[in-house]
Amino acid sequence: MSLEKITRGDEQTKSLDLVNDNINKLRELFPEIVTEGKIDFKALQEILGEELEEGEEYYRFTWAGKAQARREAHKPSTGTLRPCKEESVDWNATQNLYIEGDNLEVLKLLQKSYANKVKMIYIDPPYNTGKDFVYKDNYKDNLKNYQQVTGQVDDEGNKLSTNSDSDGRYHSNWLNMMYPRLRLARNLLKDDGVIFISIDEIEFSKLRIICDEIFGETNHIADFVWQNKKGGGNDAKYVAVEHEYVLMYAKNETNLHNLFEPYKPEYLLRYKEEDENGKYFWDTFKRKSGKQYYPIICPDGSILEYDELGNRISWLRSEERFKNDIAIGDIRIVQINNNWTVHFKQRLPLGKKPRTIFLEESIWAKVGTNSDGSNSIVELFGKEVFSHPKPLGLMSQILGFSSQDGDIIMDFFSGSATFFHASILQQLEQGKKLKTICVQLPEKIGVETEQGKNAISLGYNLISDLAKDRIRKLNKNIQNSSIDSGFKVFKLDSSNIKGWDGKPEDLEASLFDAQENIKPDRTEEDVLFEILLKYGLDLTLPIDEKLMDGKKVFSVGFGALFICLADDITNKVAEGIGAWKQELNPATCRVIFKDSGFSDVEKANAVQTLKRFGISEIKSI
C-alpha cells in the first residue's frame, strides 16, 4: 500500500461537482442512459416517452443570461475559507459561523459539508431599486473577481456597482445574480427545510417565478405581507407603499413539519395544571349557544339539564364525547356556591398557525418596522450606522415558527447581522439551541447616507466589520452562559495549496515548486480547514491537537481524520497517530500528511505503521 497524493482535479481539491452528482442520481434512476459518464438523451427520451416538451411554444420564463446562470450554479469552486481566530468570539466552543466572502463562492464551498443539513434559510437580498448594489459575477473566474472587488488584487476588473433601471438588462442582471444562489441554497436545505426571502414589489413577481422553478410550485407555502413603515408617504408619486413581502418555500412540502408561532409568556400563565398529556386549565363545559343538549348526573344524584332561568343547557361536546372524557378524567363536576358546575380540561394547543399578514392581533404584538430595526442598532452603537435594517421582531416572527431545537439556520445576505441577533434572542426567549451561519460580502460602507457617515466616524469601513462588532456587543450583554452567542470567522480566499488553485497560468511555476506545495503565507490551520471543506466535514467539528516527536498533529471529529502538515516527519509521528486512533476508537479513520514533509523512506515506513493500526486511507497534499 502506497501513500496517495491528492493533485489538482481530484475530488478533494474543489467543492462538490454538482454536474457529476446529478449524473450519478440519474444513473441510479435510469442506469441505461449513462454511457462512459455521459447522458444518452435519446435513451432518456425513449424512457420518458411523451413526457418530453418538444414544441416551440410552451410555458416558461427566460431572460438574457439564464443558461449561463444555471451552468454557474453547477460549477465547482477551487477556493477555500480561511479561519480568522483573532476576529472570532469563543472559537473553541461556538457552533456559529460568520463567513466573509461572495456568497456565490461560499455557497459552493459549503455544498459538501452542509448539503441537506440546514433547516431554515432567511435572506434579504438587494431589491433592485436602481440604487442598491448588485453582485456582478464573472462566470469565468468568480474568485478572482471577488478578490478584485474587495481590493485583494487591484482596482481593475468587475466591481460592485449599482444596477441602474436605465440598463437594458436591468431585470436580467438581478435574476442572473439570484438564480445560481437560490439553486445552491436549495441543496443545503434539509428535506423538511424552508427558505424565506424578503422582497418588495419591484422584483416580487419575477422572484416568485424563479422560485417556482427552483423549488417547485407545489413547495410554495405562503407570501407574507409585512408592514415595513407607518405614517408619512405624502411625497410618494402616486401611492404610499407601506409593505414588503416575505416569500416562503419548502424544499419538500410533504416533509414539512406543522408550523406554529410560539406563545408569549403571558399567554401561558393560565395553563397552570399539567398531566401526562400536557398543560391545561379547567374551563366551563357550558356554552351559551349550540345544540348539544343532554342531562348530566351530578355526584349527589341530581340532574343538570336546565339553567337557573329554565333554559336547556348546551354543552361543549357531544354526549358520547362527554362520557369518554369523564371516563379518562378530562371532566370534573364540582359544587360552587351550592350549584353544580361542569368543567373540562382546556389543553394548551400546539400553537397558532402563522398568518400571511403580520398584524397586531396576531400572537406577536407587532413585528416592527424599519424604524424599529434602526432602534435596535442604536441601542448597541449609540448611532444609526446601517440603512434599512430589518427589525428583530420580523426575524423573531419567522424564526419562531420555522426553527426547532438543534437546527442549523442560515442567512447568506446577512447585512448588519440582524438575523444572527434575532437567533440569539430566540434562544433566550424560547429555550431552544440554534446553530447560525451568516455570510456577508466585505463591502465598503458608503458615505452617501447619514448612517454610512456615522459608521465610518466610529471606525467601521466594511459592512462585515460592523456586523461582527454588533454580535460582539450582543455577546457581552448576554448573562446566560448556556446560550451560544459566539462565532467562528472564516474568510473566502484562493486555495492554500498551489497545485489546487485551478489557475492554468500558474501551472508551470507550480511544477517547478512541487517540493513545497503550501503557499508561504498560509498556516497549518488554513490548510486544515480547507481539507475539512473539501472532505465535506462540518467546520465546527471538535479539533484536538498534540505534539508527536515535536510535530503538530490534528485530530478532527474524535479521530475520524488525522492531519499532520509539518516538515521532517518521522515514523514516530505515525506511531503516535496509531496510538491516538486506538484511544479514540473512531468508526472510520483517515490520515493526511504534507507530501514534502518526509523522505521517501520515512513515507514508506509511516504507511506500513498506520496500516498495522488498521488505517488504510492515507493521503498527502
Q: Tell me: the pLDDT tens digits for 523-562? A: 999 999 999 998 899 999 999 999 999 999 999 999 999 9
Residue 560 burial by Cβ neighbours in a 10 Å radius (0-12, 13-18, 19+): middle
What span, in angstroms and rounded, lies between the C-alpha atoms of 619 and 600? 14
Supply 349's cell numbers. 394547543
The answer to whether the beta carbons of residues 127 and 202 sit under 8 Å apart is: yes
Comparing 112-116, 351-355, 459-463, 485-489, the range with the smallest average pLDDT is 351-355
Residue 81 CA to residue 97 CA, distance in Å, equals 11
Helix (H/G/I), strand (E/B), else coil: 255: helix
How far lies 115's CA from each of 193, 270, 353, in Å?
11, 43, 29
| Average pLDDT of the segment spanning 174-195 | 94
Residues 294-304: what's their mean pLDDT?
92
Cα distances from 375 to residues 51, 143, 328, 388, in angstroms, run 55, 36, 52, 11
Q: Name the residue with cell 460592485.
A: 160
Arithmetic mean of pLDDT over the chain: 84
| C-alpha span between 559 and 369 (Å, rounded) | 49
Three-point CA angle 129, 416, 473, nearest 5°:
165
Which domains, ranges and CATH numbers included, belong to the chain? Answer: 89-130+183-262+352-492 (3.40.50.150), 272-347 (no CATH), 507-620 (3.40.50)
Instruction: Give the pLDDT confidence of 96-106 residue by residue, as tens digits.
Output: 999 999 999 99
What Rg, from alpha-carbon coordinates, does the chain have? Answer: 30
pLDDT at 162: 63
Q: List Cα–Cα distances, 183 to 4, 69, 212, 289, 508, in angstroms.
A: 34, 10, 11, 54, 35
Residue 365 CA: distances (Å) to CA of 79, 225, 246, 300, 486: 45, 16, 19, 47, 29
Are 453 and 46 spatial neighbours (Cβ–Cβ below 8 Å)? no
DSSP letters, 310-362, are: SPBPEESS-HHHHHHHHHTT-EEEEEETTEEEEEEEEEPPS-BPPPSB--TTS
Residue 545, Cβ density class (10 Å: 0-12 exposed, 13-18 middle, ≥19 buried): middle
Whether the model clears a pTM of 0.85, i.e. scores above it, the answer is no
- 151-168 residues labelled b (16+ CB within 10 A) or e (exposed): eeeeeeebeeeebeeeee
Per-residue model confidence as pLDDT tens digits over 402-446: 898 999 999 999 999 999 999 999 998 888 899 999 999 998 888
Beta carbons within 10 angstroms of residue 121's beta carbon: 25
Give 307-348 pLDDT, tens digit per residue.
Answer: 888 888 999 999 999 999 999 999 999 998 888 999 999 998
- Residue 344: which of 267, 301, 280, 275 has the closest Cα? 280
What is the residue type of 281? F
- Give pLDDT, residue 508: 42
> Is pLDDT at 205 greater than 50 in this prediction?
yes
Q: How far is CA 284 from the centre of its chain?
A: 45
Dist. CA 222–CA 247, nearest whole Å: 6
How far apart CA 616 and CA 608 sit, in angstroms, is 10
Please name the residue ranges forming H helices in 139-264. 142-149, 170-188, 204-215
- Cell matching residue 153: 488584487
The values of phi and psi at residue 467, to 5°, are -65, -45
Each residue's pLDDT tens digit, 282-291: 999 998 777 8
Task: Tell me the C-alpha distance between 602 and 246, whole Å.
Answer: 60
Tell me the sheet residues that pair with 148: none
**587 in helix, strand or coil?**
coil
Q: Hunting for cell 511555476 — which residue is that? A: 509
State whether residue 287 is helix, strand or coil. Answer: strand
> What's the pLDDT tens digit per position in 118-161?
999 999 998 877 665 556 666 666 677 776 666 655 444 444 56
**Rounded mean pLDDT, 196-225:** 92
Q: Which residue would you say has higher pLDDT here, 604 or 512?
A: 604
